[in-house]
Amino acid sequence: MKITIRILSVTLMLILAKADLSAQQVDTKPKKIETAEIAVKGVCGMCKKRIEKAALVKGVKLATWDKYKQTLKIIYQPAKVNPDQVCSAVVAVGHDAGALVAADSVYTKLPGCCQYRGDVEVH
C-alpha cells in the first residue's frame, strides 16, 4: 500500500512539474508597451469622450485626456501603432493633436460647446 501511494505521489509531482515548465515557456516574449503624451485641444466632457474614443486605435491599450492640461496620455504597443497615427485619428474627429491641425470642415461640425478655437474657457 505504501509503495502504491509513493508511486502515485511521484507521478503527480512529475505531472505538476511538467505543467509548470509548459506554462513558463508560453510567456518567453513579453509584449513591449510604451507611454506617450500628446497635446490635444478640447474644452469639455464631450470632447474627452470623443478624443479618447478616437485615440483607441489598434495597439493603443489606454487613452486618457486631461482637459485642464490639454494632454492625451496613451499606453500603446509600438509594434502596432505610433503616436503620429493616434494624432491622425484624433484630428480626423475635429481636435488639433500634436503638430496636426484639424480641417475646418471637420472642426465646424463639432457641437458648439466643443469648439475650442478662439477665446474659449475649459468647462
Sheet holding 60-66, edge to edge: 34-39, 71-76, 60-66
Block means of pLDDT (10 residues each) for the chain, length 123 residues? Answer: 63 63 55 94 97 98 97 97 98 97 97 92 88
The answer to whether residues 114 and 42 touch, using CB atoms and an 8 Å cutoff, is yes
pLDDT given for residue 30 in this prediction: 66
pTM comes to: 0.75
Q: How many CB atoms lie within 10 A of CB 76?
A: 25
Query: Could you state, in order of their start, the residue ranges of all structural domains in the chain?
Result: 34-114
Write down the architecture of domain 34-114 according to CATH.
Answer: 2-Layer Sandwich (3.30)
pLDDT given for residue 119 in this prediction: 87
Grid cell for residue 94: 475635429
The answer to whether residues 35 and 75 touch, using CB atoms and an 8 Å cutoff, is yes
pLDDT given for residue 38 in this prediction: 97
